[in-house]
Amino acid sequence: MTVFSNLTTRVALWWQGLPRPSHTQAQTGPILFDRRHVYIFPTKQGFMFAFALLVMLLGSMNYNNNMGYMLVFVLASMALISILHTHRMLHGLRVEAGHTEPAFAGDTVSFQLWLDNRRLPARFALIWQHCNPKWQNIAPMTLNIPADQRQALTLKLSSQQRGRLKLDRLKVSSEFPLGLFKVWSYVHLDLAATVYPKPLGQRALPRGERNEAQGEGQHTDSMGDDFIGYRDYKTGDSPRHIDWKAVARGQEWLIKQFGGAGAPSLIFDWSQVQHLGDIEAALSQLCLWVLVAEEQQASYGLNLPHVEIEPDYGEAHRERCLTALALYGVRT
């Protein structure tokens, strides 16, 4: 009884010392599958195989059949060797966070992971699946990683609402090569994507400001007749405003600026959408106005409660405004 009690205590202490996957925190850096974080256990087929070997062993012992002994030992040796091969499918693999593109609510968000298998042999039949019950309807992905390669893995999730969509804990497993043992580990990287509000509402810009009837393909700071100078080129600028003569002379890319009374800036203010009576509808309308203004290459700003963005234009300004709308009132 004392021996059994000591054995039970040792097993309990060993079990408590194991890392709890459900309690792991998201990591910012790469995740390395070392021996402490790789788990292996017989599968259902493995237990059936072991039972079959036991029956064969008892039969060989009963009939003193040397050929039966040899077959049991050969099969048992194969099973033991397969443990090493199955464990090697994960051990030493490094997983890093990749690039994540923002999306609009209702669209699909792509999360990129990098699987670093350089200077290591090939890995086969790695199954990637989500641990969050909310994503259990997503079919697992099976992936092979060539030897000495760094390979990208793209996981797609549907975005239902604006804000920050985080990639929850993933489980990666394999039963290669014989299916008698299953090896698994967990990936929980601090990876999130920004989900913008769904652009809905009226495309017509607020009354008294620049609208679609004023024409497209022009910046509001280019609508005047007076030349006021140059500024640096920004992504999204119209090619017709580039000083091509300066570019031909080998100088830096510059944009001609014109001013005058006909060059107002758009200001999208929260008071313009308060009448909608719903925060999400108001943010969707502001989101649509930002996209329309950017299509028209207009200079626009955004005023939200406790958030103010000065008028500007270009891809970076568009991302700044859409991000402000996505994270408005969201606890981060």
The segment with the largest mean pLDDT, out of 16-30, 90-104, 224-238, is 90-104
| pLDDT band per the 50, 70, 90 thresholds, residue 230 | low
Q: What angle do CA 98, 102, 107 make, to 5 degrees?
A: 115
Q: Which residues pair with 7 in a beta bridge?
A: none
242-284: pLDDT as tens digits:
777 777 777 777 776 554 444 468 899 999 999 998 999 999 9
Q: Average pLDDT for residues 209-226, to the nearest whole number?
A: 44
Kindly report the pTM of this predicted structure. 0.74
| pLDDT band per the 50, 70, 90 thresholds, residue 313 | confident
Q: Average pLDDT for residues 79-96, to the nearest whole number?
A: 96
Domains of the chain in start order, with CATH, are: 28-196 (2.60.40.10), 212-326 (no CATH)
Q: For strand 300-304 and strand 307-312, is the pairing parallel, antiparallel, or unpaired?
A: antiparallel
Q: Average pLDDT for residues 146-168, to the nearest whole number?
A: 94
Determine the pLDDT at residue 329: 86
Determine the pLDDT at residue 94: 96
> The tokens of 309 are what?
């963005």
Cα–Cα nearest to 292, from 190, 187, 179, 204: 204
> The tokens of 176 are what?
């290669």
Which has more pLDDT, 216 or 67? 67
Query: CA–CA separation, 44 vs 57, rounded Å?
Result: 20
Determine the pLDDT at residue 253: 76
> The tokens of 96 are what?
């890093």
Place of tokens 């693999």: 93
Query: CA–CA separation, 297 vs 300, rounded Å?
Result: 9
Following CA atoms 236, 328, 133, 117 in sequence, which dihedral angle do they give, to the nearest 10 degrees? 40
Does 220 score more than 80 pLDDT?
no
Q: Chain-centre distance of CA 255, in angstroms?
A: 36
Does 216 score more than 70 pLDDT?
no
